[in-house]
């Protein structure tokens, strides 16, 4: 790990044993990029490399940024993970079931992710942090969705009630609606006074006086609520007794009561209540999020913020599905795409990074060579996906996996022994040249065997091609790792 904090551009001079030397990583990177480009042209997707490069690069950048302490960096990191990270996870997990060349595409994505993780020095700790942050963001998104749906229902119900109150024309109904608005607004204002920092914002020498005035104002609000409820009970009793007709028979008094439900009286009272509860809720949230400012709370807050923001497109997707049900197909498709991507994408990403973190903990993935191991595994998966293609492409993927692992582990060994300060480019380039030369020799042998198989044993079919690939892999493994 870097001495000055996580760095995505260059390693520190000493330590940082999880990242190979730069020259070795460049050799491994060029091999991975070349193979992905060749596979893309072979399967008819010439844009495979830039598309996967963008998605994978921003995903790995998000995981790397999780090790920083700044709030903005953490928000950007979680935003990358829940957008590009979910796209990467869905691509890897769902592509084999969608298209014929899906396995090869998934393998290419894994290979690029592994080599990018090697550059960013991401190991088991980084994957664990990404998994934990994804859980918090996903839970926050779901809770925000439920809360947003509830608030939308409350707003809709309140709007319906208010429009009904404004539409009242009879004196008794108008007075009843007006008293209901007064009771609700007074109760909301009294509740918001518990959250608003009015006393804290006042000068220190005037705080006792402000506190006394607030106490008086709270009592008056309470008396207003009690008086309005009493008036409502009285109106109800008069209506049950049938006496209200005598009261409303006076034209002037009836006109005054009927005017109470007009927008001139109702909307200002509603506005005061709405503004007060909104300000109180904001003050409460700010107080809760800034009470204990530590690195842990900052990380949790950043994950929660991203989850809350992503709940908005999730709610939009639900709204489009409900609004376009049985009427318009376009909004329904857009809504379903948003809901499925935001509901399943984070879970897929959690499965991906969680599996990697568990693999490191169980020793299935090397802790200091997680990136090269994932890259080599991705190339092997690509070879499996290209099994029915030209055997030379399959062998190139296998040879690339061996070369990536060999070059990266050699660079890792130099880092563990010497750090990043000494100049070792010559020995790295010499080792890489020898490895590539051995690989080219193995490729030449495989080409000869394939030509021989096609000429003399043309009826061998796929089995003959598999034998050729296996022999080529052995010819490559023995000199490099023997």
The ranges assigned to domains in the chain are 22-123+368-481, 139-329
Distances (CA, A) of 347 to 122, 137, 145, 337, 357: 21, 11, 16, 15, 15
Say yes or no to pLDDT of 290 above 80: no
How confident is the model at residue 122, as a pLDDT? 82
Inform me whether the pLDDT recorded for 145 exceeds 80.
yes
Residue 7 has pLDDT above 50, yes or no: no
Residue 249 contacts by C-beta under 8 Å, 6 or more apart in sequence?
none
Q: What is the pLDDT of residue 9?
A: 46
Q: What is the 3-state secondary structure (H, E, C) of 234-302?
A: HHHHHHHHCCHHHHCCCHHHHHHHHHCCCHHHHHHHHHHHHHHHHHHHHHHHHHHHCCCCCHHHHHHHH
Q: Give yes or no for residue 14 having a pLDDT over 50.
A: no
Residue 17 has pLDDT above 60, yes or no: no
Classify residue 347 by burial, with Cβ atoms within 10 Å: 0-12, 13-18, 19+.
Answer: middle
**Higher model confidence: residue 451 or residue 480?**
451
The predicted pLDDT at position 161 comes to: 78
How confident is the model at residue 461, as a pLDDT?
Answer: 47
- pLDDT of 3 over the 50 cut: no
- The H or E element that residue 197 is part of is none
pLDDT of 267: 82
Q: Is the pLDDT of residue 468 over 60?
A: no
* Average pLDDT of the segment spanning 253-274: 76
Tell me the pLDDT tens digit for each residue of 29-85: 898 999 999 888 888 888 889 999 999 999 998 988 888 878 888 899 999 998 899
Of 373, 311, 271, 435, nearest in space to 20 by CA: 373
Gap between the Cα atoms of 439 and 449, Å rounded? 15
Average pLDDT over residues 141-161: 84
Mean pLDDT of all residues in 456-473: 49
Q: How far apart are CA 225 and CA 228, in angstroms?
A: 5
Contacts 24+ apart (CB under 8 A), 363-367: 365/124, 367/18, 367/123, 367/124
- pLDDT per residue as tens digits for the range 203-236: 788 878 888 888 888 888 888 888 878 887 777 6
Q: What is the pLDDT of residue 318?
A: 81
B/e letters for 398-421, b = 16+ CB within 10 Å, e = fewer, are: bbbbbbbbbbbbbbbebbeeebbe
C-alpha–C-alpha distance, residues 163 and 160, integer Å: 5
pLDDT confidence of residue 454: 59
Q: What share of the chain is helix, strand, coil (3-state, %, to 5)?
A: 80, 0, 20
Q: Mapping DSSP to helix (H, G, I), strand (E, B) and coil, where does residue 21 land? A: coil
pLDDT tens-digit readout, 366-410: 777 788 888 888 888 888 888 766 777 887 888 888 888 888 777
Give the dihedral sign, CA 98/99/100/102.
negative
> How big is the chain, counted in residues?
482
Whether 414 has a pLDDT exceeding 60, the answer reads yes
């Amino acid at each position: 790990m870097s001495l000055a904090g996580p760095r995505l551009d260059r390693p520190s001079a000493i330590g940082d044993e999880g990242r190979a030397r730069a020259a070795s990583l460049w050799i491994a990177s060029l091999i991975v990029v070349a193979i992905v480009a060749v596979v893309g042209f072979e399967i008819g997707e010439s844009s495979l490399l830039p598309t996967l490069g963008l998605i994978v690069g921003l995903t790995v950048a998000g995981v790397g940024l999780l090790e920083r302490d700044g709030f903005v960096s953490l928000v950007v990191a979680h935003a990358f993970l829940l957008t590009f990270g979910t796209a990467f996870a869905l691509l890897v997990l769902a592509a084999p079931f969608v298209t014929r060349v899906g396995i090869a595409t998934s393998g290419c994505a894994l290979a690029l992710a592994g080599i990018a993780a090697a550059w960013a020095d991401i190991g088991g700790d980084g994957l664990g942090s990404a998994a934990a942050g994804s859980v918090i963001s996903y839970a926050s998104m779901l809770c925000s969705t439920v809360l947003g749906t509830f608030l939308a229902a409350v707003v809709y119900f309140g709007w319906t009630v208010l429009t009904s109150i404004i539409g009242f024309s009879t004196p008794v109904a108008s007075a009843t609606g007006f008293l209901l608005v007064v009771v609700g607004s007074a109760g909301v204002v009294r509740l918001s006074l518990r959250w608003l920092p009015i006393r804290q914002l006042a000068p220190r020498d005037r705080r006792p006086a402000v506190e006394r005035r607030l106490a008086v104002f709270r009592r008056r609000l309470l008396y207003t609520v009690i008086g309005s409820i009493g008036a409502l009970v009285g109106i109800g009793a008069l209506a049950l007794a049938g006496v209200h007709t005598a009261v409303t028979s006076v034209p002037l008094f009836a006109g005054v009561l009927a005017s109470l439900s007009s927008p001139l009286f109702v909307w200002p009272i509603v506005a005061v209540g709405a503004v007060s509860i909104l300000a109180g809720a904001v003050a409460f949230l700010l107080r809760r999020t800034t009470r204990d400012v530590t690195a842990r709370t900052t990380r949790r807050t950043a994950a929660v913020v991203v989850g809350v923001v992503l709940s908005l497109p999730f709610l939009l997707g639900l709204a489009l599905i409900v609004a376009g049900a049985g009427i318009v197909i376009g909004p329904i498709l857009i809504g379903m795409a948003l809901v499925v991507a935001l509901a399943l994408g984070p879970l897929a990403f959690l499965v991906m990074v969680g599996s990697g973190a568990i693999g490191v903990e169980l020793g299935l993935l090397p802790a200091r060579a997680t990136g090269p191991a994932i890259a080599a595994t991705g190339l092997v998966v690509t070879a499996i996906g290209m099994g029915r293609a030209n055997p030379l492409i399959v062998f190139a993927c296998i040879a690339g996996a061996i070369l990536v692992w060999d070059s990266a582990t050699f660079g890792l060994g130099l880092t563990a022994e010497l750090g990043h300060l000494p100049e070792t480019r010559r020995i790295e380039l010499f080792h890489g040249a020898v490895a590539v030369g051995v690989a080219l020799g193995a490729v030449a042998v495989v080409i000869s065997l394939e030509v021989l198989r096609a000429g003399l044993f043309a009826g061998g079919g796929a089995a003959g091609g598999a034998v050729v690939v296996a022999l080529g892999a052995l010819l490559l493994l023995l000199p490099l790792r023997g």
